[in-house]
Amino acid sequence: MRITEIYHSIQGESRFAGRPCVFVRTTGCNLRCVWCDTEYAFYGGAEMSLDQIVAKTDRFGCKLVEITGGEPLLQKDVPELAQLLVDRDYTVLVETSGERDISVLDKRVIKIMDLKCPGSGESHRNRWQNIAHLSAQDEVKFVVKDRKDYDWAVDVIKKRGLERRCHILISPVFSELAPDELVNWILQDGLDVRFQLQLHKLVWSPDTKGV
């Protein structure tokens, strides 16, 4: 597998936000969201075997691990890596754009799946069939750039019955949408969702890598 970085930090998003976590960041992505903050993971990286990845993850002594990217599901060995880690009693999160088939993942893996809003420039790439493969432990994430994105997300949540299927996360595009504005919209609509900010960008400089 081609890996950009493996590091130990706090989880910056999801319902696990704030918890220590090991991140395994794969290299490569087939989407180009206009607000992407990990373009450095599109290219480069180093080849590592599954055994090397597991061994490096083990050294941190932290049982929460997230496989992210880039787009991790572009790499054929990610389902096997996730299964190996789950079998070693890790809580495994896989963060994916939602464009790839998530049914390849072990049912014990917690899937954190984007649904790309129009403001990303990639909403036409959403794989809607993936919703059928989500369970109550999984999470769907909307990154909202403006009111149009928010209204689109609310429509998807309602029409697709997401509130009954999985956890829902909504966050503003960093430095583009004021967090309090998004919070007010959520409260006015009475949405049963988790508002989130990218904690790592509040703890460290937003451009810092490996955190």
Domains and CATH numbers, the chain: 2-203 (3.20.20.70)
List pLDDT tens digits, range 52-111. Answer: 999 999 999 999 999 999 999 999 999 999 999 999 999 999 999 999 999 999 999 999
d(CA 83, CA 112): 16
What pLDDT is attached to residue 175?
83
Q: CA–CA separation, 180 vs 122, rounded Å?
A: 25
Q: Model confidence over 188-200: pLDDT tens digits?
A: 999 999 999 988 8
The structure's pTM equals: 0.94
- How confident is the model over 180-187, as a mean pLDDT? 97
